[in-house]
Homo-oligomer: A and B are copies of this chain.
Amino acid sequence: MTISDILMQACSAVYEKTKNIIGTVEGSKKFDRGAGGDVSTKIDLVAEQAVIETIRNSDLNPTIIGEECGKIPGERGLIIMDAIDGTTNANRGIPFYCCSLAYSTGSDLSSVVDAAIIDLARGDIYHASRNKGAYINSNKLKVTKNNTSGDHTDSVNDDILIGMNLSGAPRDIINRLAGIISGVTHTRLLGANALELCYLARGFTDAFIDFRGKIRTTDMAAAYLVVKESGGNLYSMNGSELDSKLETNRGLSFLAVRNSEIFHRLAHDLHIFD
């Protein structure tokens, strides 16, 4: 079994273990804060346990990093998990949340070599391996190089659709994004960053922006590879290609885009090179 297969198997285990408790009073019961600083609910704990069990039943013995479990030392490689991304959606009932798993051979975002993300409300698995492309289930994802939508339509090319995360954004960040919000046709804020980046990789959106500095590198490790392998790219706020140490206490600001045309269009409005 490849590492990619193990990640996908762990995603499926999370789906099975959580599907009957997500959105219930039981599933949303709160616990002490996890290692990453967020409030944990029962589904977060159940999901992490499902991943850890799957990894332990495999012949991998990686170090495992998770929001609840902190760092579990191992021998080879690093599994980075956000066992439930979109916990608020899951607990409220909004059907948009996922499990995000990455495998890295080093300590940087750019050393992630395998990734799997499962849409827990629909069952779709997004996965990618370095230099081998990104997939939804068995279908290859390829964002188009020009400004049209990916796996669906060619006729919406004047409708720019930007995903962003504004939850609790300070006023200076809102001001910085105001030009984009006013100027583009459509904005979305769906509430599960990893899955929103999968939507970008699928061509459903044209860009995704989070300038709050709150997303942990560990929460976006898997989606980073899915976007890259689909042909998209990710940039820091100064316009350099995004990279960072894989640490749970490190918050990132970034812009992900389907193609360079979108990047240059947004970079101007976002004062990225100012």
Contacts and interface: CB of A to CB of B under 8 A. Distances in A.
Interface of A: 23-25, 27-30, 41, 88, 91-95, 122, 149, 151-156, 159, 161, 166-171, 174-175, 178, 181-191, 199, 202-205
Contacts of A203: 92-93
Given A29-B155, A91-B153, 16 more contacts: A24-B152, A24-B153, A30-B155, A92-B153, A92-B156, A94-B190, A94-B199, A167-B184, A167-B186, A168-B182, A168-B183, A168-B185, A170-B182, A174-B178, A175-B178, A188-B189
A92 B204 contact: yes
A56 to B, nearest CB: 30
The oligomer's copy count stands at: 2
A269 to B, nearest CB: 13
A27 B18 CA distance: 35
A122 B95 contact: yes
A92 B167 contact: no
A93 to B, nearest CB: 5
Given A25-B154, A170-B182, A181-B169, A149 B187 contact: no
A230 to B, nearest CB: 14
A159 B184 CA distance: 29
Contact of A92 (B170, B183, B205): B205
A28 B93 contact: no
A174 to B, nearest CB: 5
Given A167-B186, A174-B174, A189-B189, A149 B181 contact: no
A229 to B, nearest CB: 19
Contacts of A27: 153
B182 A174 contact: yes
Given A167-B187, A182-B174, A186-B167, A156 B91 contact: yes
A248 B169 CA distance: 35
